[in-house]
């Protein structure tokens, strides 16, 4: 069982360094909790800046580093590294361990995440702060970026789109997926592909189709989208019951009175109007909506005010 590694705020800097070294040793020796290895989900991007310069970026889902902290009981108090001299002590240690081959690039990024979270001060990595050798070494390393889970999954999917230039323009084909279906918010898909679908709550890329063809899902059709009931309304089947005062319709035990506001489900949407009925126990319910009249029978799905 992996022991708790706590980098305490009340210990001196030497003890903090020892605690961080113990953390690296624990992860290198035992891996993740309950596993004999360490898994790092990451997207490696090769960016070019100018003609002669190239830089790799490692894009991680931010939750993976948070999960490693929780799973391995790593506790780093908030504000531990507000003091620059303390930050630089940790930073130099992490760089030196990577330079010596004692930790790999993933543990290097994780260590920097513990010190800086999402923001790294450029001044902390200057030659004046960490020395010439370290500063030059850091310039050769991949930098880390942290994505939300939504963005990481979308990016992983979008990088598998088949892009080709043809005589009639750019060709794009959705990734082929046989046992997985995935839905995107239209804006989320557009942010990673440049293609936006309107008049849809969710879009589902069709496996292997050209031009990023998607099925469009509305809230009413999509079983994964909660069907939001307007505040103050109840939804259910309209039921006809007989009492000592005659016949009356109910929805979830709530009686419906003549002239009451009602919404009736038709196809993929709802039609609003007022309820009318002959109260004879046989006639269909009438829904008056503007100048139109619709007829429904018992057991139809409706909404009424509760």
pLDDT (tens digit per residue) in 179-193? 999 999 999 999 999
Strand partners, 287: 275, 294
Supply the pTM of this predicted model.
0.66
Confidence class for position 119, pLDDT limits 50, 70, 90: confident
Share in percent of the chain as helix, strand, coil (round to 5): 30, 30, 40
pLDDT (tens digit per residue) in 262-300? 999 887 678 899 999 988 888 899 999 988 899 998 899
Least confident of 120-124, 141-145, 172-176: 120-124
Q: What string of H, E and C letters represents the secondary structure of 244-269?
A: CCEEEEEECCEECCCCCEEEEEECCE
E strands within 28-161? 43-49, 53-61, 74-75, 143-147
Distance CA 216, CA 159 (A): 22
Q: Is 123 left (phi over 0), alpha (psi -120 to 50) or beta?
A: alpha
* Domains (range + CATH), the chain: 5-147 (no CATH), 159-217 (no CATH), 233-305 (2.40.10.390)
């Amino acid at each position: 069982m992996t022991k708790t590694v706590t980098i305490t705020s009340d210990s001196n800097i030497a003890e903090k360094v020892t605690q961080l070294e113990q953390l690296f040793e624990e992860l290198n020796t035992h891996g993740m909790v309950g596993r004999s290895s360490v898994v790092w989900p990451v997207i490696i991007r090769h960016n070019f800046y100018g003609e002669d310069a190239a830089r790799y970026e490692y894009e991680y889902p931010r939750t993976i580093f948070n999960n490693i902290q929780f799973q391995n009981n790593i506790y780093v108090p908030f504000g531990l590294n507000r003091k620059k001299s303390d930050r630089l002590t940790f930073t130099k240690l992490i760089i030196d361990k990577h330079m010596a081959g004692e930790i790999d690039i993933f543990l290097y990024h994780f260590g920097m995440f513990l010190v800086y979270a999402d923001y790294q001060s450029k001044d902390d990595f200057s030659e004046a702060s960490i020395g010439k050798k370290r500063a030059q070494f850091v310039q050769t390393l991949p930098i880390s970026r942290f994505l939300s889970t939504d963005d990481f999954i979308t990016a992983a999917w979008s990088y598998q789109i088949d892009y080709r230039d043809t005589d009639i323009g750019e060709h794009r084909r959705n990734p082929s997926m046989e046992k997985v279906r995935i839905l995107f918010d239209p804006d989320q898909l557009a942010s990673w592909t440049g293609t936006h679908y309107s008049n849809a709550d969710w879009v589902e890329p069709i496996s292997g189709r050209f031009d990023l063809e998607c099925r469009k899902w509305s809230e009413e059709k999509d079983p994964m989208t909660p069907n939001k009931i307007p505040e103050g309304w109840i939804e259910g089947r309209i039921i006809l019951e007989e009492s000592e005062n005659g016949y009356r319709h109910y929805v979830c035990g709530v009686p419906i009175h003549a002239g009451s506001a009602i919404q009736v489900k038709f196809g993929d949407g709802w039609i609003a109007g007022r309820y009318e009925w002959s109260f004879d126990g046989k006639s269909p319910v009438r829904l008056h909506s503007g100048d139109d009249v619709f007829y429904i029978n018992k057991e139809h799905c409706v909404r009424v005010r509760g």
